[in-house]
Structure 1
Amino acid sequence: MRIVIADDERTARARLRRELSEMANVEIAGEATDGLTAVAQIRALRPDLAILDVQMPELDGFAVLRALEPAERPAVIFATAYDAYALDAFRVHAVDYVLKPVDGEQLRSAVDRARAQIDARTDEVRLRALLDEALASRGGLAPRTDHGADRLLINTDGRLVPVRVEDIDWIEAAGNYVRLHVNKSVQMSRDTLTAMEKRLDPTRFARIHRSAIVNLDRVKELQAWFSGDCVVLLTTGERLRLSRSYRKAFESRFGRRKE
């Protein structure tokens, strides 16, 4: 397990290094003394786990997470001298938090939980691939390609559920999840919008702003709005904003679409 440590206190970093050095299969990939450096190191080193001090110069621990795209975020343990941050830590889906000065046993328990979470993610990816193959072989479906598949497996409450792509109306980002609007129902999946977009056929789906993807077959009309933005009216009656920065690419999709 590769770990990045971020804490502006030298003695706190030294204590973390000492405790982590006694754990098996742990490598300290990098250290940071402020939030901006922590963001840069996480992006460059792609660690499995980040141990972040809550209060740091430039960016605090929570701001470090906000600065990262969901796909860039490792498992996180917060280190703090105050219990008051515990609820905030769990709200951003941290694995755990440890109180400073760090206790070795508490840290070991938190790292073990992080390891279990990372292993579960790896198992989920493997299971998703196996289920994709099973769906393709039993249902006569084409295997997934760069242009998407007939069905997607989404992670809902720890279960992998197949969803027919043609039934998806639109998809929106929701923190570390995405909401799939499917036949007037909503399915939550632990995924990023960018990762979901890569699994969809680009001739059938398009971004309309940084937080939403729409099924082009559901587009009824475009209506002018403010500052170059538009409103996309869907056949379901829903109205979504088309950002000016995505408008040209979105409109061009209709000329390139395959029937």
Structure 2
Amino acid sequence: MTTPRLRTVLVDDEVLARLALRQALASHDEVEIVGECGNADEAMQALRALQPDLLFLDIQMPGMDGFGLLHELAPDRLPLVVFATAFAEHALRAFDANALDYVLKPIDQGRFDQAMARVNRHWQGLHAVHAHGESAAPPAAGTGYAQRLSIRSGEHIRVIAVADIDWIRADGNYVHIHVGSSRFLHRETLRHLLTMLDPARFLRIHRGIVVNVERVAEVHPLFQGNAEVVLRDGTRLGLSRRFRAAAWTVLGLH
């Protein structure tokens, strides 16, 4: 299976900054630059017309800034996003906006290549899901998966260690993330969130439910190929027949 090239749009109000991005991308044959934009309004039109896979986005631009642009887009229509900006203080907010990475200007090629390695891992995993269907086996475990998630809680941003997550339930363009006795509503689709999580740690047991395999205490087979997963805290979740084979493999069941 050949992974398609990443159709990419560059968004920055400075021509020289877009040129620097082009130069940094010159060694990445997996990328096809399909558009350049100088502001958020142009970017909005380009995203709707071109439907790119990857977006390099500046933060501070005339008019609407980069965060405002992402806020206007539905989570399930977002391309992969890498912020390229001169302002380090926006890093936490960038990850809260579900950016894959955050590259400072002037661009350091080594750091940029690290960001692209992360983009490629997510892109390959996402393409594998599309190519084989949602029930396909997840990509092999490796580095580059999210270690923390930044979740807006009222006027604050809560940083959660991924290892602390017990289970996740989809709710349209949002997910409910369960951590101990706490539950956090996060503006993200489950499909996109799965590209950020290590498949060796997080197991999809239902179309709308993902569990941390370290929290699984028991599995109770039910009728017609379905089952019930019991977590260490007593939470009971349905394991659908569609995801049973992959769950049996990950959990070492026979």
Q: Which runs of 5+ in 1 are unaligned?
A: 132-156, 164-170, 181-185, 194-198, 201-259
Instruction: Give the distance between the partners of 2:115 and 2:67, measured in 1 at CA.
Output: 18
Q: State how far apart, in whole Å, the 2-side matches of 1:67 and 1:192 are.
A: 19
Map residues 223-238 of structure 1 onto 2, 5 A cutoff. none
Q: How far apart are the structure 2 equivalents of 1:78 and 1:130?
A: 30
2:120 corresponds, among 115, 118, 139, to 115
Amino acid at match of 1:191: T
SS in 1 for 2:98: coil
CA change 1:187–1:93 in 2 (3 A) is closer
3-state SS in 2 of match to 1:110: helix
CA distance in 2, matches of 1:177, 1:124: 20
Report the CA distance between 1:123 and its aligned residue: 2.7
- 1:128 aligned to 134, 138, 152, which one? 134
The corresponding residue for 2:106 is 101
Structure 1 residue corresponding to 2:175, chosen from 174, 178, 182: 178
- Out of 32, 35, 48, the residue aligned to residue 30 of structure 1 is 35
Q: Deviations over 1:199-221 (max 9, x none)?
A: 99xxxxxxxxxxxxxxxxxxxxx
Query: 1:2: which partner in 2?
Result: 7
Please give the alpha-carbon distance, in whole angstroms, between the structure 1 residues aligned to 2:174 and 2:128: 18
RMSD: 3.5
- Displacement of 1:37 in angstroms is 0.9
Specify every segment of 5 or more residues in structure 2 that has no aligned partner in the other structure, as ranges.
1-5, 138-162, 178-182, 192-206, 209-254
The letter of the residue matching 1:178 is: V
Q: Is the 8 A contact 1:4 1:31 kept in 2?
A: yes
Bigger Rg, which one: 1
Matches within 5 A, 1:60-79: 60-79=65-84
CA 62–187 in structure 1, closer or farther in 2 if over 3 Å, else same: closer
Q: 1:187 to 1:9 in 2, by over 3 A?
A: closer
* Deviation readout 1:57-99 (Å, 9 max, x if unpaired): 2211111111111121001000111110111111111101011
The residue aligned with 1:234 is: none
1:88 & 1:113 partners in 2: Cα distance?
19
Does the CA contact (< 8 Å) of 2:129 and 2:136 recur in 1? no
What is the aligned counterpart of 2:52 among 26, 47, 50?
47
Q: TM-score, normalised by structure 1?
A: 0.52
- Normalized per residue, the structure richer in helix is 1
Q: Distance in 1 between matches of 2:32 and 2:128?
A: 22
Percent of matched pairs sharing the same residue? 38
Q: How many residues align?
A: 157
Which residue is equivalent to 1:191?
Answer: 189
Q: What is the CA-CA distance between 1:9 and the residue it aligns to?
A: 0.5
User: Hey, what's the Cα distance between the residues in 2 that align with 1:187 and 1:59?
Assistant: 28
SS state at 1:94 partner: coil
Superposed CA deviations along residues 146-181 of structure 1, whole A, max 9, x for unmatched, are: xxxxxxxxxxx9xxx9x9xxxxxxx745xx53349x
Alpha-carbon displacement from aligned partner over 1:8-34 (angstroms, at most 9, x marks no partner) = 001101111111122122110100000
Query: Structure 1: which amino acid aligns with 2:87?
Result: Y
In 2 relative to 1, CA 72–2 (structure 1 residues): closer, same or farther, beyond 3 Å? same
Look up the equivalent residue of 2:119 and give its one-letter code: A
How far apart are the structure 1 equivalents of 2:184 and 2:66?
30
